Structure 1
C-alpha cells in the first residue's frame, strides 16, 4: 500500500510540512514493531509518498499517519486528509507511473527515476525493505527505463531543472555565469551537466547536511562551508538551491548582506520542496527568485501518443507484477485478463484527467472518478483471479482458458508483440 500527497492535489506548503522528518520516518515505523513490515519513503521536490508492506492495511495507515504527525507537528486529521491511500494493484500502478515520469510536474522528466532509485537504495542500506517491496521498486525502475527507451517520452529533455533554467533566461546570460549550488541530491547532480551545457561556471557547492566535500570532489568544484556562504553568494550570478533540508538556508539578512552595494542582479532558483529560500528574499532589490510554483505554471506538455504508449507499458508491467497467488499453468491467462482490464482503465483515466493548471475542484472530481474506476477494476479482477487458482489446482486449465477467450475475446497466449517493451519481464535491473 502507499500513502501519497503530490503537486496534483495538495499545496506545496502542505507537502513541505509533511516532509519534515522524512529521513527517519521508515525507521520510526519499523521501530514500533506494529503492522508495518517494510517501508520506503519518497520525498521529492513536488511529492511525498510512503510505501509500506503490511497484512493489516488500516492499522498500517494509522501508524503512518501517527508517525508523520509526530515528526511534522501537524494534526493527525490534517495528515490523514492530505494523504491519498492506494492499495494492491493501485499502489503498484502509481509507483510505476511516478517512476516513469507520468505523474511529474514536467511530464516525462527523468529526474524522478533517480530520486526513486535513491529512495530504494537508502531503504536497502538501512534494511527497511521486505522482499516484495524490493521487487516492486526494481520493477518500477525497470519500467521507467523501458518507457524512456520505447516511447520517446521525455526525449525533449524537459525537466524541472531545464524549465527552471529557461525561466531564468530573462535575467541570466548563461555564458560564463557564476553559479553556486546549494544541495547535493538528485536535482543537484542533474543541474551540473545542464548548467555546463549552457556555458555556466559552477563556483562551488554548499550543503546544509555537510555533504558538500564528496560532491565537490566528484565534480571538481569548491566545497563551501557555512563561514564562506555569504562570500559565495556575493560572487554568484545564480544560486541553484535544491537541498530540501529542514531549515531555510538563504534568509533575507544573509542575502542582503552578501549583495550589499552590488548592482549586479542575482537569480535564485529554489527547487527544494522544503524551501531553501525564505519568502522575504524575493522582495530584495535586484534579486529574482524562481520557485516550484513558477515551474508548475510553465511546465510544457508531452505528445499524447508518447503518454498513451507509456501508460500501456505501465499497465503491462502492473499486470506482470504477480504475487504468486495463481498456479503457473494459468499465469498467461491471468496476465492477459489483467492487461485487458488495465488497458481499458488507463484509457478511461486519461480521458477524464484534467489538463495542467485546472481548477482544484476539477482535479478533486477527477481524482474521485479515478479512485472509483480503480476500485471497480480491482473488484472485476478478483473473482477471475481466484477461479484461475482453483481451476489450475483441479487440473481444469483448459476450461478456464476457453472461458476467457469466449467471454473477453482475449488472446491468452499474450504474444511478445502485445507490449512494445518485453524487457519489462526481465528479472535483472
Structure 2
C-alpha cells in the first residue's frame, strides 16, 4: 500500500489550465465518486487538493496501473472531459516521489508565488473535506498532517514566507489602487467569494481602511461572516449587479461557474477595476475591452509580485534541505509499506515450499536420524536464502526510485505473489 499522485498543474499546462480546474460542484462529484471506490475496495483512501493552480488526487492503493487508470477516469468525468484529453497532461508520481511533491506543495515551492501562505490553509481544508467525505481514514491523513507540520516549520525556520507577496495581500494592494486613494476617500471594494481567500482579502482590505462589501451565496456563511468580520458589509452574491455602481474595485475570489460576469453587464461602469483571482476564470475576457474597466487576473497578480520574490528565492535551497531531511524519515515509509509485505510474502511462500519438499523427501527416504534431519534443514534454508538474496537485493535497490511501481508489479508477477 503506497501513495499514488495524479497531478494537473498550471505550471505544466499554462493558460490551458482553466479546462482542468474543478468547480465546487465538480469537487463534490469527484469526492462522491472516490467514496464509492473506497467503499468498493478499489482504493484504500483518497484526497482531492483543488486550488486555483492545481488539481491533484492523492490515493492509497495496492495496484499501480489499475489505480492510475481508475483515478484518471474519475477525474476526467468530474471535469466533463475525455480521458484522452486528461491523461496527457496528468503527472503521475508514486511513493517517495509523491511524498516529496506533497512536502514541496506544503512548503510553498510548487506555488505560482513561491512561499505563499494560502496553500497551508488549502491543504488543511482538503484534508478536512476528505475526512468529512470518509475517503481519508488512516495513513494518508497522517501523511498530510505531517506535511502541514513541515510547511509550518519551513515558514518558521526560513525566509520563504518573507515580504508581502501572497495572493491575498497582493490582490488587496491592487484593489486599493484606485482614484479614490488619490482623493483621500476610502476605496469601496466588493469581494465575491466567502472561502479562505475571499475572507482573507476582505480582512486585509478592511485593515487597510477600505470600505468592504463581501458577497456570499450561502446564508449560513453570511451569518458567520457577520460575526467574524465586524466592519465588513456582507450581502448575498445575487446582489452583485446592484452593488457594481457603488464600487471602485471588484475582487472575484470564489470558485463559481466560469464566466459568471460578462462584458454586457459592465457597460457604463467607468473607472471600475476588476481583479479575478479564480481558476476557472469568472470574468468574460471581453471585459478587458470595455471602456473605463480595468481587468486584472491571477497572472497579472503573479507578475505584480514577481520583483518582490528575490529574498524568498534565496531561501529555496534551505527549504529543499529541510524537505530532503524530512523525506529521509517520512518519505521512506511510502515505499516501505509497499515493499515489505511483498518481501514477507516471498519468504513465507519460499518457506512453505521448502518445508513441503523437505517433508516429502524425508518421508521417501524414511530418514529418522535427528542429526541428518537437522543438516538437511540447514541445507535447504541456505539454498532458499541464496536463491532469494539477489532478487530481494534488487528490489531494495529499486525502492523509492522512479519506475519502482512498475518494477514491484513485475516482481510480484514473476514470483506469483
**TM-score under structure 2 length normalisation:** 0.72
Aligned length: 331
Candidates 9, 13, 17, aligned match of 1:14: 17
Counterpart selection for 1:176 from 173, 186, 193: 186
State the match for 1:369 in structure 2: none
The equivalent of 1:297 in structure 2 is: 303
Q: Distance in 2 between matches of 1:173 and 1:272?
A: 25
Measured in 2, the distance between the counterparts of 1:184 and 1:65 equals 30
**Relative to structure 1, is the Cα distance of residues 242 and 381 closer, same or farther in structure 2, using a 3 angstrom cutoff?**
closer
Given that residues 105 and 160 in structure 1 are in contact (C-alpha distance below 8 angstroms), is that contact kept between their aligned partners in structure 2? no
Structure 2 contact 35–133 (Cα < 8 Å) conserved: no
Contact 1:30 1:36 in 2 (8 A): no
Which secondary structure does the structure 2 equivalent of 1:8 belong to? helix
Residues 28-107 of structure 1 mapped to structure 2, 5 A cutoff:
28-32=33-37, 33=40, 35-107=42-114
* Cα distance in structure 2, aligned partners of 1:4 and 1:105: 15
Q: Quickly say closer, same or farther: Cα 1:210–1:66, change in 2 above 3 A.
A: farther
Rate the CA distance shift 1:202–1:129 in 2: closer, same or farther, 3 A: same
Aligned to 2:279: 273
Q: CA deviation at 1:305?
A: 3.6
Alignment CA distance shift 1:82-1:18 (3 Å): farther
Structure 1 residues 172 and 62, CA gap change in structure 2 (3 angstroms)? farther
TM-score of the two chains, using structure 1 as the length reference = 0.70
Indicate conservation of the 8 Å contact 2:194/2:214, yes or no: no
Bigger RCO (CA 8 Å, 6+ sep): 2
SS in 1 for 2:128: helix
Classify 1:209/1:36 alpha carbon distance in 2 versus 1 (closer, same or farther; 3 Å).
farther
Deviation at 1:16, TM superposition (A): 4.2
Deviation at 1:75, TM superposition (A): 1.6
State the Cα deviation string for residues 235-280 of structure 1 (Å, max 9, x = none).
1111111111234332223333xxx4x54x1111100112221222
Q: Secondary structure at the match of 1:243?
A: coil
User: Structure 1 residues 34, 280: closer, same or farther in 2, change over 3 A?
Assistant: farther
- Distance in 1, matches of 2:224 and 2:172, equals 25
What's the offset of the Cα at 1:108?
A: 0.8
Q: Partners of 1:69 and 1:23 in 2: how far apart?
A: 14
| DSSP 3-state at the match of 2:139 | helix
Q: Which residue of 2 aligns with 1:202?
A: 212
Task: Give matches, 1:28-427, under 5 Å.
Answer: 28-32=33-37, 33=40, 35-167=42-174, 171=178, 173-174=180-181, 176-207=186-217, 211-220=221-230, 221-256=232-267, 260=268, 262-263=269-270, 265-300=271-306, 301-303=309-311, 304-321=313-330, 322-323=332-333, 378-379=400-401
CA contact (8 A) 2:104 2:110 kept: yes
Larger fraction in helix: 2
Alpha carbons of structure 1 residues 325 and 5: separation in structure 2 relative to 1, 3 Å: closer
Larger radius of gyration: 2
Measured on the aligned residues, the alpha-carbon RMSD in Å equals 2.8
Unaligned 5+ segments in structure 1 are 328-374, 383-429
